[in-house]
């Protein structure tokens, strides 16, 4: 995994510094799905919520997909990332093998036909958002690390302990952070 300290971009991940101080993002890994001159949108990858898809989404076939906390913005809206951009029209490719959104009616049909499986999709309540210049300011304050990502990280990596695993993989001083307590006074 390589780190770039200043260049956020679509498809990259933000890794929260251990002492970020924002409970919305403590020890989170955020996939950036849109980054432009107007601002940035992303989804927290490593905060599962204890809600079932069937309880949350009405008028859909029964589906055993996990639900994640995408971030503190629009938490009453459901967003999704998936691997099926070739069969779900309107999907936006974020990076190779990872797509955002698409036609809900087609998604519903693909779920009913078992052409989309729970391992192909991740649902997010809300999103993480930064206004113009806000993320750049946070990067200057060293609140985040920016790193490369891939479809395997999004869909195939165990999310429990994801932040800690990434810190260990980065090595050096970052490897020391993976065991840092949430409350530094406990150190």
Contacts of 152 (CB under 8 A, 6+ apart): none
Mean pLDDT by 10 residues, the chain (187 residues): 66 87 89 94 96 91 94 96 97 97 96 96 97 92 90 91 86 73 53
Tell me the C-alpha distance between 2 and 13, whole Å: 11
What are the pLDDT digits (tens) for 41-56? 999 999 999 999 998 9
pTM, whole model, 2 decimals? 0.90
3-state secondary structure the chain: CCEECCCCCCCCEEEECCCCCCCCCCCCEEEEEEEECCEEEEEECCCECCCCHHHHCCCCCCCCCCEEECCCEEEEEEEEEECCCCCCCCCEEEECCEEECCCHHHHHHHHHCCCCCHHHEEEEEEEEEEECCHHHHHHHCCCEEEECCCHHHHHCCCCCCHHHHHHHHHCHHHHHHCCCCCCHHHC
- Residues 14, 146: contact at Cβ < 8 Å? yes
What are the pLDDT digits (tens) for 19-74? 777 888 989 999 999 999 999 999 999 999 999 999 899 889 999 999 999 999 99
160, two tokens: 């429990």
- Residues 87, 106: contact at Cβ < 8 Å? yes
- Residues 3, 147: contact at Cβ < 8 Å? yes
Predicted confidence at residue 178, as pLDDT, reads 63
Work out the burial of residue 6: count CB atoms within 10 Å of its CB; fewer than 13 is exposed, 13-18 middle, 19 or more buried: exposed
The CATH code belonging to domain 3-186 is: 3.40.1740.10
Predicted confidence at residue 111, as pLDDT, reads 96
């Amino acid at each position: 995994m390589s780190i770039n300290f200043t260049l956020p971009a679509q498809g990259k991940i933000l890794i929260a510094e251990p002492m970020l101080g924002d409970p919305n993002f403590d020890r989170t890994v955020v996939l950036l799905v849109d980054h432009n001159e107007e601002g940035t949108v992303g989804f927290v990858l490593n905060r599962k919520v204890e809600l079932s898809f069937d309880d949350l989404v009405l008028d859909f076939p029964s589906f055993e997909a996990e639900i994640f906390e995408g971030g503190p913005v629009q938490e009453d809206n459901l967003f999704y990332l998936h691997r099926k951009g070739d069969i779900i029209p309107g999907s936006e490719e974020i990076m190779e093998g990872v797509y955002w959104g698409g036609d809900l009616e087609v998604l519903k049909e693909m779920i009913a036909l078992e052409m989309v499986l729970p391992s192909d999709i991740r649902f997010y309540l809300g999103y993480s958002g930064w206004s113009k210049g806000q993320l750049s300011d946070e990067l200057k304050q060293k609140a985040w690390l920016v790193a490369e990502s891939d479809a395997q990280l999004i869909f195939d990596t165990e999310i429990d302990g994801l932040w800690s695993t990434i810190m260990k993989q980065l090595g050096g001083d970052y490897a020391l952070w993976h065991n840092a307590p949430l409350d530094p006074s406990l150190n």
